[in-house]
Amino acid sequence: MDCPKCENEMEVVRYGAGDRVVNRCTSCHGMFFKPVDLKRLKNTYKAEILDAGSAKVGRELNKVENIDCPECGTRMEKVHDDDQNHIWYESCPTGCGVYFDAGELSDLSQDTFMDVVKGWIVGKRD
Ligand SMILES: [Zn+2]
Ligand SMILES: [Zn+2]
């Protein structure tokens, strides 16, 4: 599988119990994975381990628009995260997967974690 943004090769990275995989670009470290795994990755610190790329490179490549799904070739749609509107990613309309630029997934999981922490602090006040 080739990276839809920079056209370099993507490698399969396993995580969790071993049956979960993401495809990660060996050059820009963008990641492509199944939509069902998004919620799982969002709520785990593992997102940061997997998201090994530079956020700076990710931000540059975030400007690359109109990419095709690396699996089926369909033009991907830009969608934003329901909880965090500033995070945009690409999603295949036929459901193959979603593509995140380097740094975006960490951003997503970190903010989620910070929200949890804020919840704890607020929760202790009354
Ligand atoms: Zn790439
Ligand atoms: Zn597709």
Q: What is the pLDDT of residues 93-122, one digit of tens each?
A: 999 999 999 888 888 776 666 666 666 665
Is 43 a residue whose pLDDT tops 60? yes
Q: Please state the pTM of the whole predicted model.
A: 0.79
**Mean pLDDT to the nearest integer, 53-76:** 87
- Residue 102, domain extent: 10-124
What's the pLDDT score for residue 122?
59
Distance CA 28, CA 54 (A): 8
Calculate the average pLDDT of the chain. Answer: 84
Residues with CB under 5 A from ligand 1 (ion): 3, 5-6, 25, 27-28, 30
Q: How far is the CA of 34 from the centre of ligand 2 (A)?
A: 10
Nearest to 35 by CA among 49, 22, 24: 22
Residue 76 lies in a domain: yes
Quote the number of domains for the chain: 1
Q: How far is the CA of 91 from the centre of ligand 2 (A)?
A: 8
Contact 92, 72 (CB under 8 A): yes
Residue 70 lies in a domain: yes
What's the pLDDT score for residue 69?
97
Distance CA 23, CA 50 (A): 10
**121 burial via Cβ count (<10 Å: 0-12, 13-18, 19+):** exposed
Distance CA 114, CA 70 (A): 33
